[in-house]
Copies of this chain bind each other. A is one copy, B any other.
Amino acid sequence: MNVALLGHGTVGKGVTDIIENEKIEGIRIVRILTRTKRENNDERFTVDFGQIINDETIDTIVECMGGEEPAYSYVKECLEKGKNVISANKKMLARHMDLFELAKERNVKLLVEASTAGGIPWIRNLCDISRDDSILSLQGIFNGTSNYILSGIFEEDISFEDALFKAQEFGFAEADPSDDVCGHDVRYKVCIAILAAFGKIAREEQIFARGIDHLSSREISYARENDMVIKLIGQAGYNEGKLSACVLPHFVTKGSLYSCVGGNDNLCICQSKYLGKLSLIGQGAGSYPTGHSILQDLIDVRDKRAYEWHIEGEEEIFQDIEAEFYISSDHFFPEELIKERIDESSFLSRKCRLCDLMKYLKEEDFIAMME
């Protein structure tokens, strides 16, 4: 099996390292596409995508270049040419779900284990479970960077700014961390998990997403005083036939499973009719965990053992999730939504649907769900 890598950053290097160290049989990396010319003697490196797309001996592509373009165009072209694609690119995949249908049409594999929850075998298990079970809901901690920041705040007692700086210093956060801390990254992953669990194509913009970027010392103190911590959680689930999904910070009790997931670890939970509740915890990012997930997909393709997508089509997403919410806002909220005022700018809501609050919520407000 001849494989080309698109991109050779952290993830791509993980893949080539593991193949080399473990002497994985039958998987040969024959081309590596990079943006700029590499000064080395490895003849596999190229900056010309044409050398990959036009090479009929290459049957499988690993896309780990990140970003929407040119990744999308390259992947699309590869699938159209009948090449299997393994992708770690959550943003591109979530925005171009048509690729999954294209792969099916061309009878090739599009496998994406590495795109969601790094090393955790989440996508393959969702696809497998849904073969004989009905998944009812999924939720979890899907962003290692914000979890690292939140763990720093609550375990090491440092400020948001210091925790973010530390995350950047240790390579857990990008120079521009907005996708991670604003909840967008989690939203991409929820889209992909919705496809694996429910067979539905969700449109990113329909999923309400808020991150931890507006988190202030007020919420941190409130959590501490009430023996809780804050976690950024993505979730999706059916209720009375309607699929709701959102990404929100949550106040969770100390000692709960959520509170045990520290550092840049991820937590993935699914609830289904027969299996009940299943939780997976592991590394959500990093060269080797993510490289390992790509290799799992590659070996599945090699052995013709890949998990299957069961695509049923597009689905409208609602914000019907019912809970009590914590809100910090200087704007008007109707009294009937308010259960308890914490101080002049923050309150706990009565049990209500997220959509009931969204009407009054402004971009600069902080909102979190109470567990």
Contact = CB atoms under 8 A, between A and B. Distances in A.
Contact of A292 (B120, B275, B286, B299): B275
Interface string A101-138: 00000000000000000011100010011011110000
Given A274-B292, A305-B305, A299 B132 contact: yes
Contact of A132 (B255, B276, B295): B295
A281 interface: yes
B125 A121 contact: yes
A80 B160 CA distance: 64
A292 B132 contact: yes
Contacts of A134: 22
Interface residues of A, number: 41
A132 B22 contact: yes
Total identical chains: 2
Contacts of A178: none
Contacts of A289: 274-276
A220 to B, nearest CB: 19
Nearest to A131: B299
Contacts of A304: 304
B278 A282 contact: yes
A255 B257 contact: no
A281 B257 contact: yes
A329 interface: no
A342 interface: no
Interface string A269-290: 0000111111111110010110
A254 interface: yes
A24 interface: yes
Interface in A245-263: 254-257, 259-260
A288 B133 CA distance: 10
Given A260-B256, A288-B274, A132 B279 contact: no
Nearest to A308: B303
A128 B132 contact: no
A291 interface: yes
A244 B65 CA distance: 42
A18 interface: yes
A335 to B, nearest CB: 38
Nearest to A22: B132
Contact of A275 (B255, B275, B278, B288): B288
Contacts of A34: none
Given A14-B274, A274-B291, 4 more contacts: A121-B278, A132-B295, A275-B292, A276-B286
Interface of A: 14, 18, 22, 24, 119-121, 125, 128-129, 131-134, 254-257, 259-260, 273-283, 286, 288-289, 291-292, 295-296, 299, 304-305
